[in-house]
Amino acid sequence: MSIFCKVPQAAPVAVFKLTQDFTKDQFPTKVNLGVGAYRTDEGQTWVLPVVKRAEKIIVSDDRLNHEYLPILGLPEFRSSVSRIALGDDSPAIQENRVGAVQCLGGTGALRIGAEFLRCFYNGNNNTKTPIYVSAPTWENHGAVFTSAGFQDIRPYKYWDAQTRGLDFVGFLSDLESCPERSIFVLHACAHNPTGTDPTQDQWKQIAQVMMRRKLFVFFDFAYQGFASGNLENDAWALRYFVSRGFELFCAQSFSKNFGLYNERVGNLTIVSRDTDNLKRVLSQMEMIVRTTWSNPPSQGARVVALTLTSPELFSEWKDNVKTMADRILLMRSQLKAKLQALGTPGTWDHITEQIGMFSFTGLNPKQVEYLVKEKHIYLMSSGRINMCGLTTKNIDYVAESIHEAVTVVQ
Amino acid sequence: MRLGAELLRHWYDVNAAWCGPVYLSSPCDDSLAGIFQAAGIQDIREYYYWDDKQRDICLDKLLEDLETAPEQSVVVLAASAHCPTGADLSQNQWAVITQLILRRRLFPFLMLPAQALCYGDLERDAWPVQLCASNGIELLCAQSFSHCFGLYGEAVGHLLCVLKHNSLLLSVQSQADKIVKSLWSQPSVGGARVVATVLSNPAHLVEWQGEVKHIVERCMLIREVLRERLRLLGTPGCWDHLTQQRGLYCCMGLNGQQVEFLSKWRHVYLLPSGCLNVSAINGRNLSYVAESIHLALTTSL
């Protein structure tokens, strides 16, 4: 008898199943709006030119080898990516109270941060501290914190389906009514899946409440540069919180803005009150990393570090990122224009008001099913579309199909 | 290792709500206990492995410990290249152990940290894995390509799972996927591509095996030369194990005081267990190292 004979089949990850179904579909004008990565206007993957250049430099540099990286990761990577998040002139960096842990993607950074918090935040091994994630949020957030041992994952109000915008009042009220010291996972920019971010004023109010109620700030920062096309703008919320004196964690991902999805390039930036506290925190982070993956992989980190620390490459990277962001902005404005031109019922302003890779269209599950089954347009049942799946060649078909879905299906 | 530990903690015999024990060799890689604990398994125990006096594995005591292990215990065993001692079980000893595993219903979690680095022979170093599988034993095997590909910094590892029935494959795989998703989502591709490219191309495979043989031959040479040097110095003790055992690591049989002596007075650093990495010895430092070991064993401390 196998010891595994009672293991149930786990449900497939929705977004990957969607892509699988899309791949099997033979329909000639099928469209995948569930894809989780950037696509060019030709519908192709895009290895950033600056990444290709950096990789060539690295592979021909005979001084480099494959020795183990330090447990906390490549030093040049850690310092340059924390710097890009917090700003060159960040007082926190100058005061030596910013630390970093190179992690396996944004997921790895979230996991390491979550493990640390479970061990040491709000008492020792306090698995009952509530974790608040936005309603809706990236579908893996809950699983990461649960796996780290937290028992109480709760939603905070975020998306307002009626207004197709942020339920700011609801958000604030959850901040006011939650237990003190709760942990909040905040999307630094380009909220996934809604694409709806708080305004600067709203962020200021959020920060005020969180400071007063002693809530822990854990930023998920996966789209720096990718959202507005500008690195500084996308980092505004994070930098604001730091300037208000918060101690916080920030899980950074370079999957999207460097197109390094499969190299697993992430970083956990830690902002602490002072150097002494930081030192002890990092020592515990080392212990956690050691029993998770021991040492991180160097390939992707080297590309990012080289790019960020070479003026020419850095400049080229910013251009590459702007190219991606601009294409998305173009698709947003074109989709909205076409839906308005078609006279599609409903308001479509949210398509251009939302930011980043994703848009919460507001389509209901029945309308989504119609699109998938009848029109071979694949999107998540939540109505989330990936703007990168749109191209100048398919946008008409998509707009017409959305029009049909909204008018035919209620 | 972490993935395997999580898989076991979640899914080892769903009915029994299994939570250990896990048996680790004494000594073992010092991160192992922490890995199982991080996965939520607190009951970690040791089985006798390295005997300082014999400067070898003591099979009798090992078998005694495993004989008394509760049924369904997980036993972590090195298929080859045991870290940190470098002392590996022989094929005969493996035959005895697999019978015990079957009889006592233990679950083997094998480690293959440096396949081909012991004998320069892929098959030979992995033989215990094949033995268990051919005996119908379900197992996990954690493979690392750090040493045999020199890809330390690319985190290239693989968890092999051999199940009793093909029908279980999809469900176990799906649960492993779920665990990976909450650890790091997907693995990194860089090192995996290199390994896959080499292993799937006959010409590269031959070239790689040749390069691994160089490492093996160099390690063997160092072991022989060190043994000879200690013999010439008249260093007390028997040093046959240096050349009987293989791979990168070697346990010198020094005690804690002697290890401290070496680091403090001779600036020669060994692991606290008295084990060392043979490849760190070379033409330039051999004399010094041999003398230092000699001094550690002859100076009254």
The mean pLDDT of chain A is 96
Q: How far is A97 from A86, CA to CA, in rounded Å?
A: 12
pLDDT of residue B15: 72
% pLDDT > 90, chain A: 95
User: Does the pLDDT of residue A114 top 90, yes or no?
Assistant: yes
**Chain B residues 164-183 with a CB less than 8 Å from chain A:** 164-165, 168, 170-172, 174-175, 177-179, 181-183
Q: Is B186 left (phi over 0), alpha (psi -120 to 50) or beta?
A: beta
Q: For B229-256, write each residue's pLDDT tens digit.
A: 999 999 998 999 999 999 999 999 899 9
- Coil, helix or strand at residue A221: strand
The mean pLDDT of chain B is 95
Q: For A184-235, write each residue's pLDDT tens digit.
A: 999 999 999 999 999 999 999 999 999 999 999 999 999 999 999 999 999 9
Q: Which of A150, A110, A128 is nearest to A292 (CA)?
A: A110
Q: Is B19 on the interface with A (CB under 8 A)?
A: no
Residue B80 CA: distances (Å) to CA of B26, B83, B126: 15, 9, 7
Q: Is B131 on the interface with A (CB under 8 A)?
A: no
Q: What angle do CA A385, A391, A394 make, to 5 degrees?
A: 85
**Chain A residues touching B107 at Cβ < 8 A:** 3
Distance, in angstroms, between B295 CA and closest chain A CA?
32
Determine, for residues B72 and A3 on separate chains, whether the beta-carbon distance falls below 8 Å: yes
User: Does the pLDDT of residue A410 top 90, yes or no?
Assistant: no
Cβ(A79)–Cβ(A215) under 8 Å? no
User: Does the pLDDT of residue A1 top 90, yes or no?
Assistant: no
Q: Nearest CB to B152: which of A68, A262, A264? A: A68
Distance, in angstroms, between B49 CA and closest chain A CA?
23
Strand partners, A143: none
Look up residue B192 and give its two tokens.
């995996």
Q: Nearest 5°: phi and psi at A285? A: -60, -40
Determine, for residues A68 and B164 on separate chains, whether the beta-carbon distance falls below 8 Å: no
Determine, for residues A264 and B174 on separate chains, whether the beta-carbon distance falls below 8 Å: no
Determine, for residues B179 and A147 on separate chains, whether the beta-carbon distance falls below 8 Å: yes
pLDDT band at residue A237 using 50, 70 and 90 as cut-offs: very high
Domains and CATH numbers, chain B: 1-197 (3.40.640.10), 206-298 (3.90.1150.10)
Q: Nearest CB to A143: which of B15, B174, B181? A: B181
Q: Does the bond joining B84 to the residue before it have cis omega, within 30 degrees of 0? A: yes
% pLDDT > 90, chain B: 92
DSSP state of A282: H
Q: Which residue of B has its CA nearest to A12?
A: B174
Q: Is B151 on the interface with A (CB under 8 A)?
A: yes
Q: For A49-70, write each residue's pLDDT tens digit.
A: 999 999 999 999 999 999 999 9
pTM of the predicted structure, to 2 decimals: 0.94
Strand partners, B65: none
pLDDT of residue B301: 66
Q: Nearest CB to A297: which of B35, B72, B154? A: B154
Catalytic residues of A: 138, 220, 256
B20, amino acid identity: G
pLDDT of residue B300: 76
Distance, in angstroms, between A277 CA and closest chain B CA?
23
DSSP H helical ranges for A41-103 = 49-59, 75-86, 91-94
Cβ(A133)–Cβ(A191) under 8 Å? no
Q: What helix, strand, coil percent values describe chain A, rounded to 5?
A: 45, 15, 40
Determine, for residues A6 and B13 on separate chains, whether the beta-carbon distance falls below 8 Å: yes
Q: How far is A35 from A379, CA to CA, in rounded Å?
A: 8
Distance, in angstroms, between A174 CA and closest chain B CA?
26
Q: Nearest CB to B155: which of A147, A149, A295? A: A295
Determine, for residues A107 and B190 on separate chains, whether the beta-carbon distance falls below 8 Å: no
Q: How far is B94 from B74, CA to CA, in rounded Å?
A: 16
- Coil, helix or strand at residue B140: strand
Q: For A321-380, write each residue's pLDDT tens digit.
A: 999 999 999 999 999 999 999 999 988 999 999 999 999 999 999 999 999 999 999 999
Q: Predicted ipTM?
A: 0.89
Distance, in angstroms, between A79 CA and closest chain B CA?
19
Top-confidence residue, A168 or B272: A168
Q: Which residue of B has its CA nearest to A14?
A: B178
User: Does the pLDDT of residue B51 top 80, yes or no?
Assistant: yes
Q: Which of B26, B44, B32 is nearest to B1 (CA)?
A: B32
Q: For A10-49, write each residue's pLDDT tens digit.
A: 998 888 889 999 999 999 999 999 988 999 999 999 999 9
